[in-house]
Amino acid sequence: MPISTVIFDVDGTLVENTQIIIKLFQDVVSEYLGQNMSDSEVLSLWGPPGDEIFRKIFPDSLFVEAWNKFLNKYRASSPSKGFFSRDELQRLKDHLKFLVIFTGKSRTTYEITIEKLGFADLFHLVMTGNDVERSKPYPDALFQIISILNLNKEEVMFLGDSHLDIIAGKAAGIKTAAALWGSVESEKLLSSNPDYLFSNPNDFLEFILNK
């Protein structure tokens, strides 16, 4: 059965900014808490949106200032070019029934990212980590997307660079695809057994547009 809906993750899938986020997080933690966190320690916190992670890490007295510092740094360093061009995403949108976003990012950081890329008008529906009580690896947002758009699960693919994306997609009963081009934990991604593997964006585009 052909794929009629593609759900994109954002960080590491649409845009190469995972290392940027890790570094900014480390900088803010070091500045406000005097702690040095490794990349793996930062990645172990991922799943909930950034503001929720900050609330867990920082005391109430520092949360607002630290989160705003992170946002300001993120605005200044967020890439303006993604893995896909606007024309390529427009081709996907024209070819598919729905083009959708599900990201664990906060709504604020998502909007910074998507506006910087110039992709804000290309997606039929956007779900962020702030829009559900349980973000990745839970499938709650995917179930909402399926319900809102009245999708046939057999025609839906979730594309992501993290094992959390694959776990969520499998739990929702939809096809899962690994975006190997942006993954910083490729072993975990592969061990989550995605249905499809794509080494670069062109391979993914060819698969969707020509299948």
pLDDT of residue 43: 92
Same domain, 139 and 126: yes
pLDDT digits (tens, 9 = 90+) for 66-79: 999 999 999 999 99
* Domains contained in the chain, number: 2
pLDDT of residue 1: 78
Contact (Cβ atoms closer than 8 angstroms) between residue 162 and residue 9: yes
Range of the domain at 33: 18-77
Same domain, 155 and 185: yes
Give the number of residues written for the chain.
Answer: 211
What's the predicted TM-score (pTM) here? Answer: 0.93
Tokens, residue 181:
């081009």
Which has the closest alpha carbon to 128: 4, 7, 5, 6? Answer: 7
Burial class, 94, CB count within 10 angstroms (exposed 0-12 / middle 13-18 / buried 19+):
exposed
Same domain, 101 and 61: no
pLDDT of residue 208: 97
Same domain, 130 and 204: yes
pLDDT digits (tens, 9 = 90+) for 168-208: 999 999 999 999 999 999 999 999 999 999 999 999 999 99
pLDDT of residue 179: 98
Same domain, 41 and 115: no
Same domain, 59 and 117: no
**Can you give the CATH number for the domain in which 30 is found?**
1.10.150
Same domain, 156 and 182: yes
Which portions of the chain are predicted below pLDDT 50?
A: none
pLDDT of residue 47: 87
Same domain, 39 and 92: no
Q: Which of 33, 49, 77 is the last residue of a domain?
A: 77
Half-sphere exposure of 58 (CA within 13 A, CB side): 26
Q: Which residues contact 203 (CB under 8 A, 6 or more apart)?
A: none
**Can you give the CATH number for the domain in which 117 is found?**
3.40.50.1000
Same domain, 116 and 106: yes
Tokens, residue 166:
């694959």
Same domain, 71 and 96: no
Q: Which residues contact 76 (CB under 8 A, 6 or more apart)?
A: none
pLDDT of residue 211: 73
Same domain, 23 and 44: yes
pLDDT of residue 105: 95
Same domain, 50 and 73: yes
Q: Which residues contact 106 (CB under 8 A, 6 or more apart)?
A: 49, 50, 51, 52, 128, 129, 130
